[in-house]
Amino acid sequence: MIACNRRFGEAGVAKSSIHVRSAGGIERGFIVLVCRACIDPPCMKVCPTNALSKRIGGGVILNSSKCVGCKLCVNACTIGAIFWDEENEKPVICVHCGYCVDYCPYNVIRMEEIS
């Protein structure tokens, strides 16, 4: 989360597009929430201003200048992988740069091609 936020030159985790939360109790461990690069992204389909476009290889690319901050994409993502930038009132969506992978000391996350 901290590595992702660093892409924006920010401290903390407010603009991270990857989050970790409890799966419900210590024994059940944790869940990594991050975009799974849908080939047919539901988040893109609900955007009323076409601010989201398909990314080659899966997922979406955000054009912030077209975004009106309606949050429809946040609710449309089936796995809850779109987060919210409260400061700019825009969604925070993974750009699949792979930066976080290099910083995970336990090799929990990796990049792979979607077939």
Whether 23 contacts 30, CB under 8 Å: yes
Taking the CA of residue 74 as centre, how many other CA atoms within 13 Å lie in the half-sphere pointing to its CB? 13
Per CB under 6 A, does 69 bind ligand SF4? yes
Nearer to ligand SF4, 12 or 89 (CB): 89
In angstroms, the CA 1 to CA 6 distance is: 9
Closest distance to ligand SF4 from the beta carbon of 25 (Å) = 25
Per CB under 6 A, does 111 bind ligand SF4? no
When binding is defined by CB under 6 A, the residue of 20, 23, 68, 108 that contacts ligand SF4 is 68
Residues in contact with 48: Cβ distance below 8 Å, sequence separation at least 6, in sequence order:
68, 70, 72
3 state DSSP class of 32? strand
Nearer to ligand SF4, 22 or 50 (CB): 50
Q: Which residues bind ligand SF4 (CB under 6 A)?
A: 35-38, 41-43, 46-47, 49, 51-52, 59-60, 62, 67-73, 77-79, 81-82, 91, 93
